[in-house]
Amino acid sequence: MSYGRGLRVLSFVTIATITLALALVFFYAPLDVNQGFIQKIFYIHVPLAITALCGFVFGGLLAIGHLRTGDRKWDLRSYVAIHMALIFGVAGLITGSIWAKASWGHWWVWSDPTLVSFLIVMLLFATYQPLRFSIEDPERQARYASVFAIVAGAFVPLNFIAVRMAQGFVHPRVLTLTGGHLPGSMGLTFAISLIGIALLYTTLWKYEIAAKQARMQLRRLRRAALGEDALRPLGRSAAPS
Amino acid sequence: MRPVLAVLRKDLRLELRTFETLPAMVLFSVSTFVIFHFALARSTISGQLAAGVLTVTLLFAALLGSGRLFVAEREQGGFDAFLLAPVDRTSLLLAKAAAMFLFLAVLEVVAVPAFALLLLGPSLGPRLPGLIAVLALADLALAVIGTLVSAIAIHTRARDMISPIIGLPLLLPALIATARAAAVVLAPHAAGTPPGRWLLILALYDVVFALLSYAVFDFLLED
Amino acid sequence: MDPAIELRGLTRRFGERAALKNVTVAVPPGATLAVLGRNGAGKSTLLRILATLLRPHAGEVSVLGQSLPRQAHAVRPKVGLLSHEPLLYRDLSGRENLRYHAQLHRVAPERVEQLLEAVGMGHRADDPVRSLSRGLVQRVAVCRAVLHDPEVLLLDEPRANLDPAAVELIEPLIGRGNGHTRVLTSHDPRSALDDADLVLGLSDGMAAFVQSPGEVTSEQLRELYE
């Protein structure tokens, strides 16, 4: 069994893309007239947020794979996808806050539907690991986690649609996300940053899965070679085992 | 259909016998209105504030109630009893969601007049049809999500905690729609009809989550 | 003749531990299999798998020609489980509980009355289960298990909590000689051996032996239970 097939190539491509993205951000993208240098955090913040959201939906899709096949490998992939997406999401929230404070003077703005939707999604997925941790039977834990991942993954697009419809009728869009209307140079920089962050997510995802699978295999081999008693029993954990 | 009715009848009979759920929900709601009456230090509220207070109170009462939905099943072997029967697993979901909806309806029969008495400024009468429309859709959302989340939580160790922390984010969009729609109905001067868009959002939300729950429920029961 | 129950290499895990490992046994129709072993040996797990409440993780299980878990829905009407827990709602009466089960199993209500009479519960059928003694609860539980007239009976300690009079009353319902195929567990190996056609000894989830009762030695029993 090879762990993390293609991981080395993927890592190199990721590092290369991120380096390129950083270069573009600092040397190529124009300086924003209104917000100044701090606007450049947008190139990290938005890709982080988009990747996190896609990661959550990805986790839901992987969970469907788990429920359909019963193969715990899918559960591992789903778990890693979601917890990686959570990390990226927190980074997105922090960078977003910094940007918000710098450009609009507030750390948080309630009237922006995108921010509010994102917060709701993060609140939901923050419960994923506590849920897993509170179910002791590993089979049931994996199954229930997958049910959660599917419902929560479906919730992501729904939530954005609902909140957008809600806010639109009360406030005009106060803060516009510059998606899709970026001038050429900003657009290119943004695209490369997005690809870079997405690659980073994928690399870390594969890396963590490889590490966990290797660890599990090691346990299996030790059990087979040294007998049941040689292993310290795994404590309760949120991670698939 | 028959197993759904069998389970529902059993649950209603149990509730009438033990009164474990509904009185708690009612008492909670009325007490909360009293608390708000004093905390807000206002003689009457209307519009968005009234809608917010009503919606949040019903939400928490619903979470309280849904936490009890599967307890008898878990502690008295009800899951096994159901799973041994040659019936479609999703009948349990339908029966429990129906029970929850009925509990919420009964709750509102008491709580909404109490709310009108204790807090609401404008008169309830002309606003009732609009309010009923909004609450009916909201109750569907609360029933479906409440049942789903309760079924997930019942097998966990910290079941009273897990239920709300998962349920609240999931219910937020429905909550927003309910509060906004109710605000128009409870407006101080003229009883507005609830805006179609909010009702549409609520209805869509109900349909999507009902279908989702239906699709995943089997996996929660099997072992 | 095809066996009524056939297990081949049945395995069921709990996390990393195996609750059942590689269990193989075949039970002819109408025969009684006694499953012996310590607490935690896997007896209840085995019964629950046969009852379709648990899925096997590996190996093959077939009950009355249908394989589990794929055809669980076809097996369900044909097996009756009497487990540790009575599976009755404490706040409902015996009669109400049985009527509920009858509705789920699509059984006529008359059968409920017939069974309640048969176990001598006629006079207390309307008292809530919480007010009944354990012996009476067990009688109602037996009614629940045989309500839908299953061909296969899965009995987890069937005589627990019962006085001799009650044991006599339930014997016609769950005893030998009715053509039922039975799998029973018991903490008392002696009485189980008397009742059985085939004996499976489980130790730490694995089959220690599969023999007819006459062939089981005291040595084997001692090893099983120490």
In a domain, residue A33? The reply is yes
The sign of the CA dihedral B44, B50, B54, B56 is negative
In a domain, residue A2? The reply is no
Residues 6+ apart with CB under 8 A from C7: C23, C24, C25, C26, C59, C60, C61
CB contact under 8 A, C16 and A139: no
CB contact under 8 A, C103 and B82: no
* Residue numbers in B near A75 (CB within 8 A): none
Neighbouring chains to C with at least 3 Cβ pairs closer than 8 Å = A, B
Given a contact cutoff of 8 angstroms between Cβ atoms, the answer to whether C189 and C221 are in contact is yes
Taking only residues 69 to 88 of chain B, the set having a beta carbon closer than 8 angstroms to any beta carbon of chain C reads: 72, 76-78, 80-87
Taking only residues 139 to 198 of chain A, the set having a beta carbon closer than 8 angstroms to any beta carbon of chain C reads: 139
Is B223 touching C (CB cutoff 8 A)?
yes
What is d(CA A72, CA A157) in angstroms, rounded to the nearest whole number? 26
pTM, two decimals, is 0.91
CB contact under 8 A, C92 and B13: yes
Residues recorded for chain C: 226
CB contact under 8 A, B81 and C101: yes
Residues 6+ apart with CB under 8 A from B183: B47, B48, B50, B51, B52
The number of domains in chain B is: 1
Among C53, C73, C76, the residue with its CB nearest the CB of B223 is C53
CB contact under 8 A, A234 and C15: yes
In a domain, residue A230? The reply is no
Among A140, A155, A165, the residue with its CB nearest the CB of B201 is A165
For residue B151, what is the enclosing H or E element?
helix B128-153
Is C221 touching B (CB cutoff 8 A)?
no
In a domain, residue A94? The reply is yes
Task: For residue C55, give the chain A residue with the closest CA.
Answer: A139
Does the pLDDT value for residue C187 go beyond 70? yes
**Coil, strand or helix at B16:** helix
Among B156, B195, B212, the residue with its CB nearest the CB of A135 is B156
- Min Cα separation B208/chain A (Å): 9
Q: Which domain holds residue B70?
A: 2-221
Sheet holding C152-156: strands in order across? C79-82, C152-156, C181-185, C32-36, C198-203, C206-211
For C158-177, what is each residue's pLDDT tens digit? 887 788 888 888 888 888 87
* Residue numbers in A near C13 (CB within 8 A): 139
Task: For residue C15, give the chain A residue with the closest CA.
Answer: A138
CB contact under 8 A, B173 and A170: no
CB contact under 8 A, C16 and A233: yes
Question: pLDDT tens digits for chain A (241 residues)?
Answer: 567 778 888 889 999 988 888 888 888 777 776 767 777 788 889 999 999 999 999 999 999 999 999 888 999 999 999 999 999 999 999 998 888 887 778 888 777 778 888 999 999 999 999 999 999 888 999 999 999 999 999 999 988 887 777 666 544 443 455 444 567 777 888 888 999 999 999 999 999 999 999 988 888 888 888 876 767 777 677 777 7
Residues 6+ apart with CB under 8 A from A130: A238, B158, B161, B162, B165
The number of domains in chain A is: 1
CB contact under 8 A, A137 and C13: no
Given a contact cutoff of 8 angstroms between Cβ atoms, the answer to whether A74 and A66 are in contact is yes
In a domain, residue A236? The reply is no
The sign of the CA dihedral A29, A35, A37, A39 is negative
Q: Which domain holds residue A112?
A: 7-177+185-225
Does the pLDDT value for residue C31 go beyond 80? yes
For C127-139, what is each residue's pLDDT tens digit? 999 999 988 999 9
Return contacts of A154-157, CB within 8 angstroms, 24+ apart. A154/A60, A154/B208, A154/B212, A155/A121, A155/A124, A155/B170, A156/A53, A156/A56, A156/A57, A156/A60, A156/A121, A157/A57
Domain of A109: which CATH number?
1.20.120
Which one of B144, B166, B198 would you mutate to disrupt binding with A, by most A Cβ within 10 Å of its Cβ?
B166
Q: Which residue has the tokens 């085939």?
A: C198
Given a contact cutoff of 8 angstroms between Cβ atoms, the answer to whether B198 and B130 are in contact is no
Given a contact cutoff of 8 angstroms between Cβ atoms, the answer to whether C205 and C42 are in contact is yes
Residue C90's pLDDT is what? Answer: 94
For B193-205, what is each residue's pLDDT tens digit? 878 888 998 999 9
Given a contact cutoff of 8 angstroms between Cβ atoms, the answer to whether B79 and C85 are in contact is no
What is d(CA B34, CA B59) in angstroms, rounded to the nearest whole number? 17
> Which residues of chain B are under the pLDDT cut of 50?
none
Task: For residue C17, give the chain A residue with the closest CA.
Answer: A228
Residue type, B31: S
Residues in a beta bridge with C14: C17
Residue A182's pLDDT is what? Answer: 63
Q: What is the average pLDDT across C12-23?
A: 87
For B64-100, what is each residue's pLDDT tens digit? 999 999 999 999 999 999 999 999 999 999 999 999 9
What is d(CA A240, CA A30) in angstroms, rounded to the nearest whole number? 46
What domains are defined for chain C?
Answer: 5-225 (3.40.50.300)
